[in-house]
Amino acid sequence: MTEPMIYIDGDFYAKSQAKISVFDHGFLYGDGLFEGIRAYNGQVFLCREHLDRFYDGANCLLINLPLPKRETRAVLYECLKRNNLKDSYIRLIATRGIGDLGLNPRNCADRASLICIAASITLYPEELYRKGMKIITSAVQRSHPECLNPRVKSLNYLSNIMAKTEAVNNGYEEAVMLNHRGEVAEATGDNIFIVKNGTIKTPPPSAVILEGCTRNCVISLARKAKYELREETLARFDLYTADELFLTGTAAELIPVTACDGRNIGNGKPGPVTLDLLKKFRQFIKTYKDKGV
Ligand code: PXG
């Protein structure tokens, strides 16, 4: 089997040769950011939305990306082509670049490093979409937005990893994190939605969430289908008493949740609104055409 080809700063390297410096500040300090993007049938799904978030995040972190958006988009497609992939999970990463052992970003090259990996997809088993997953709320709090704003998809995912570990160690698939005010924020790699009395609700960006591309896509599909949908502050109580609960994210797409902290959600089975939105989302993917940035 031929090795996957990885893009690093303008060149492609076989996986076993694709290496970055131990002096890269992405490695030393988590000084960088990333995107997880899907390609379906050769189209980079929600390409503009992912690149907009990537460039906004870089701007927040004062990271000077090496390429204009249009050329970064071309890198995504080149990665698919070199790896002969039409359906893929693409990881786009920018780091502050190579520096010294000090924190000061000025001692790094003025240009960020850009890395792109196109992998074949590992899907959750289809059974999980039919049965739904069981989740917990985590003791690990979402970081305060004045420390490290989770709206930037930075290379610092330790609190998410600690929350995910708590879930996995206790036999659950996912954990929901609460923000510094004790409100529901999001899962470790997914946004959260509930359905209550026919209304779909999801926390607003001010709840300290990553504004997911899948989240925004599902919101617009739900509104187009005339569902009532509100961005609203949610408490743990709202999760426990929801009729339906589901998560959205690039990797999971849209996945039903049937229990939270040991409480069944609704009747403990994926609900009709969730299943309808999952169907609509999958239909949207099938007909999706990337129109550029
Ligand atoms: N919240 C957080 C904290 C995330 O990391 C989402 C929501 C969903 O956003 P999108 O744009 O994907 O709808 C994410 C997604 C993975 C994985 O492989 C996913 C993410 C990060 C790391 C790994 O499941 N981000």
User: Does 143 share its domain with 20?
Assistant: no
- What is the CA(249)–ligand 1 centre distance, in A? 5
Residues 6+ apart with CB under 8 A from 261: 136, 137, 236, 239, 240
Q: How many CB atoms lie within 10 A of CB 2?
A: 8
186 lines ligand 1 (CB under 6 A): yes
Same domain membership, residue 165 and residue 106: no
75 and 203 together in one domain:
no
Give residue 148's pLDDT. Answer: 87
Could you identify the residue written with the tokens 């009729």?
243
pLDDT computed for residue 123 by the predictor: 74
Per-residue pLDDT for 122 more than 80?
no
Residue 65 lies in a domain: yes
Q: By alpha-carbon position, which residue is closest to atom 10 of ligand 1?
A: 212
Closest Cα to atom 19, ligand 1: which residue? 189
**Are residue 180 and residue 263 in the same domain, yes or no?**
yes
Averaged pLDDT, 248-266: 97
Burial class (CB in 10 A: 0-12, 13-18, 19+), 157: middle
User: How many domains are contained in the chain?
Assistant: 2
Listed in sequence order, the residues at least 6 apart from 199 whose beta carbon sits closer than 8 Å to its beta carbon are 227, 228, 229, 230
Asked, for residue 293, whether it belongs to a domain, the answer is no
Secondary structure (3-state) at 53: helix
Nearest to 237, CA basis, from 277, 206, 270, 265: 265
188: in domain: yes
Same domain (yes/no): 282, 143: yes
- Ligand 1 binding pocket includes 215 (Cβ within 6 Å): yes
57 touches ligand 1 (CB under 6 Å): no
For residue 27, being part of any structural domain is answered with yes
Segments forming the whole domain that contains residue 16:
5-119
Task: Give distance in angstroms: CA of 246 to centre of ligand 1.
Answer: 14
Whether residues 149 and 258 share a domain: the answer is: yes
Angle at 278 between CA 123 and CA 49, to 5 degrees: 75
Residues 268 and 166 in one domain: yes
What pLDDT shows up at residue 260? 98
Question: Mind listing the pLDDT tens digit for each residue in 83-93?
Answer: 999 999 999 99
User: pLDDT tens for residues 32-42?
Assistant: 999 999 999 99
- Shared domain for 277 and 136, answered yes or no, is yes
**Residue pointed to by tokens 């698939």:** 173
Nearest CA to ligand 1 atom 4: 189
Is residue 241 domain-shared with residue 192, that is, in the same domain? yes
- Domain boundary among the residues 119, 142, 167 is at 119
Is ligand 1 within 6 A of the CB of residue 24? no
- Alpha-carbon span 58 to 284, nearest angstrom: 29
Could you tell me if 137 and 257 are in contact, meaning their C-beta atoms sit under 8 angstroms apart? no
* Helix H or strand E segment including 82: helix 69-82
23 C-alpha to center of ligand 1: Å?
Answer: 27
Decide if 270 is inside a domain.
yes
**CA 29 to CA 23: how far, in whole Å?**
10
pLDDT at site 205 = 96
Q: Is the domain of 147 the same as that of 164?
A: yes
Q: pLDDT tens, 157-190?
A: 999 999 999 999 999 999 999 999 999 999 999 9
162 vs 183: CA distance, rounded Å:
19
Locus of tokens 């990665």: 79
- Report if residue 292 sits inside a domain: no
Q: Is 183 in the pocket of ligand 1 (CB under 6 A)?
A: no
Residue 257 inside a domain? The answer is yes
